[in-house]
Amino acid sequence: MTTTAVLGAGKIGEALLSGLIHAGRNADDLLFTERSEARRVELTKRYGVASVTVAEAAARADVLVVAVKPQDIDPLLTELAPVLRAQTLIVSLCAGLPTALYESRLPEQTPVVRVMPNTPMLVGEAMSAISPGRHATSGHLNTVEEMLASVGQVVRVPESQQDAVTALSGSGPAYFFYLVEAMIDAGILLGLPRAVAGQLIIQSAVGSAKMLAESNEHPVLLREAVTSPAGTTIMAIRELERHGVRAAMLAAIEAARDRSAELGKPHTPRA
Q: Minimum distance from CB of 199 to ligand NAP (Å)?
A: 25
Distance CA 16, CA 92 (A): 12
**C-beta closer to ligand NAP: residue 14 or 103:** 14
In this structure, how many other beta carbons lie within 10 angstroms of the beta carbon of residue 20? 23
**C-beta closer to ligand NAP: residue 7 or 90:** 7
**C-beta closer to ligand NAP: residue 99 or 197:** 99
**C-beta closer to ligand NAP: residue 91 or 201:** 91
The residues that touch ligand NAP, with contacts defined as CB under 6 A, are 7-8, 10-13, 33-36, 67-70, 72, 75-76, 93-95, 117-119, 170
4 with 30: CB under 8 angstroms? Answer: yes
164 with 257: CB under 8 angstroms? Answer: yes
Q: Minimum distance from CB of 193 to ligand NAP (Å)?
A: 31
Helix, coil or strand: residue 51: strand
Four-CA torsion 240, 245, 246, 250, nearest 10 degrees: 180
90 with 111: CB under 8 angstroms? Answer: yes
Q: Minimum distance from CB of 101 to ligand NAP (Å)?
A: 12
Angle between helices 11-22 and 37-47 (to 10 degrees): 20
**C-beta closer to ligand NAP: residue 120 or 197:** 120
166 with 129: CB under 8 angstroms? Answer: no
DSSP annotation of 170:
I
In the bound state, the residue with its beta carbon closest to ligand NAP is 10
**C-beta closer to ligand NAP: residue 7 or 136:** 7
Four-CA torsion 139, 141, 147, 153, nearest 10 degrees: -140
Q: Minimum distance from CB of 79 to ligand NAP (Å)?
A: 7
**C-beta closer to ligand NAP: residue 36 or 160:** 36
DSSP annotation of 8:
S
Q: Minimum distance from CB of 150 to ligand NAP (Å)?
A: 17
**C-beta closer to ligand NAP: residue 33 or 99:** 33
Q: Minimum distance from CB of 166 to ligand NAP (Å)?
A: 8
Q: Minimum distance from CB of 54 to ligand NAP (Å)?
A: 6
CA distances from 173 to 167, 206, 213 (A): 10, 13, 15
Distance CA 118, CA 93 (A): 10
β-bridge pairing 50-51 and 63-66: unpaired
Which candidate, 185, 195, 201, 183, places its Cα nearest to that of 240? 183
Q: Minimum distance from CB of 88 to ligand NAP (Å)?
A: 16
